[in-house]
Structure 1
Amino acid sequence: MKKILIVFVLLIGLLGAYFFFTQSKESKPALEVEQKQEEIQVTRKNIKEETETHVVDVVYPQFGIAAIDTHIDQLVKSSVGEFKMLPPNPPESAVPKHSFDGLYDSVYIGPDVVSFRLVLSQYTGGAHPLTSISGLNYDRATGKQLLQQDAFAMIGKTVEEVSAAATKELKSKLGDAMFEEGANSNPENFSSFVISEDKITFIFQQYQVAAYAAGVQEVSFSRK
């Protein structure tokens, strides 16, 4: 009888231990692994100064990625430096001070690229300012600047195919006023572009494919 009681107690103990172990295992929450891509916080930098000969007011973005920010910073400061080296206007000029302005727009931050438009405009007198629009695009992982060859690859077209399609679209819009050499198959004609989630837009500068009055022209292609 005593042996039976001992065996019974041992069985109860084993069952209790098993129950405790299994319940603890089941109730322990599973580890959740969540991979989040690091968010980019865009900040603004401003170069602003005024002297007796010129006024500068340029705003441009920084993305918190060292290689990208350094390249943008150097590009903007180089442009401002070149502007400041221009000889001043004579005192009797209708435009006593040169001006250099800059802004940015069309910011796109995707999983693979960072892209935006940088608009720089200088005025030293004359009928209108001289404006340049640069599409600046970077590989988000490496910080490397993306060039037109990368853009062609993203849309799955050769420069000849891009040229033919762009010329056709611009010709339909501008007619005989189009300067066709500005969209021929020279890769430099497509050096300015911006990237969005679903397309790439090539930017043609003032005077590149038409007279100043026609303004800046753009042609877009779907990304593959």
Structure 2
Amino acid sequence: MEPALQIGAEEIKTSDEYLEVSVETPVISGMNNTAAQLKINEHFKQVVQEQREELLTMAVENKRSAEEMDYPFHQYQLYARTGPYFENGKILSFYVDYYNYSGGAHGMTDRRTYNYDVVSGQALSLKDVFISGYDYKSRIDTAISGEISQNPDDFFAGEFGFKGIDLDHKYYLQNDALVLCFNQYEIAPYAAGIQEFRIPLQDFSKGLNPDLKLIN
């Protein structure tokens, strides 16, 4: 029996006068393509390492300036958590929330989505979910605009409002839905948080890539 594909986590926790780190780095196991699996897992380690180094450099400089200018320094923070994942033998889909605090009134959360062909290990963009030539953008734009219109006061308007998705907009999959994500400040105020729009896969039934077997 082939091993079941799943996502675990490697926990990293450190804290010093400059930076607190509390991350759960995704660890994928069970892929037949072990080379691709290793490459993907190394990518997640690298993302955390790069963010950690960047924040630490900023924190050291900020603390030095705070001491020279006699203002309080607040420890920087880096957190990461992995959301639930979808896997059907063809595609693996999930997101990771990266939160960092680097001074100021509040930190920021960056939701990054990841979608992989479980056979090749290749990343799958939004267009890969659909057959060639299918106008998925118009359907998604209409669905999102309709949902925003139900609660317009919760979103930015005019030049800062929703104008349509990018062709490679970030997404992840649930059992029966395509979920489009917008980070803080993209289309709504910070207090509104990360915005997600869940569209039933059945709405795209004629345009879905049959190789991914997303609906029966």
Both proteins in one fold, TM over 0.5? yes
Following TM superposition, by how much is the alpha carbon of 1:111 offset from its aligned partner in structure 2, in angstroms? 1.3
In structure 1, the residue matched to 2:41 is 69
| Fraction of identical pairs, as percent | 22
Residue pair 2:154, 2:188 contacting (<8 A) in 1 also: no
Q: How does 1:15-30 map to 2 (within 5 A)?
A: none
Following TM superposition, by how much is the alpha carbon of 1:150 offset from its aligned partner in structure 2, in angstroms? 2.2
Q: CA 1:85 to 1:153, structure 2 compared with 1: closer, same or farther past 3 Å?
A: farther
SS at the partner of 2:116?
A: strand
Distance of 1:176 and 1:46 partners within structure 2:
35
Q: Which runs of 5+ in 1 are unaligned?
A: 1-35
Q: How does 1:43-62 map to 2 (within 5 A)?
A: 43-62=8-27
Equivalent pairs counted in the alignment come to: 187
Distance of 2:11 and 2:154 partners within structure 1:
41
In structure 1, the residue matched to 2:150 is 172
Q: Deviations over 1:169-213 (max 9, x none)?
A: 12212347434655323517x632211222110111111111112
In structure 2, the residue matched to 1:84 is 56
TM-score (norm 2): 0.74
SS at the partner of 1:42?
A: strand
Q: Deviations over 1:25-74 (max 9, x none)?
A: xxxxxxxxxxx553124321123322321111111221122233233233
Q: Over the residues paired in the alignment, what is the CA RMSD in angstroms?
A: 2.6
In structure 2, the residue matched to 1:160 is 138
Q: Which has the larger radius of gyration?
A: 1
In structure 2, the residue matched to 1:143 is 121
In structure 2, the residue matched to 1:187 is 166
In structure 1, the residue matched to 2:94 is 116
Distance of 2:83 and 2:150 partners within structure 1:
27
Following TM superposition, by how much is the alpha carbon of 1:136 offset from its aligned partner in structure 2, in angstroms? 1.3
Q: Deviations over 1:101-128 (max 9, x none)?
A: 1111122222111122211111122221
Residue pair 1:123, 1:130 contacting (<8 A) in 2 also: yes
TM-score (norm 1): 0.72
Q: CA 1:96 to 1:119, structure 2 compared with 1: closer, same or farther past 3 Å?
A: same
Q: Which runs of 5+ in 2 are unaligned?
A: 30-36, 206-216
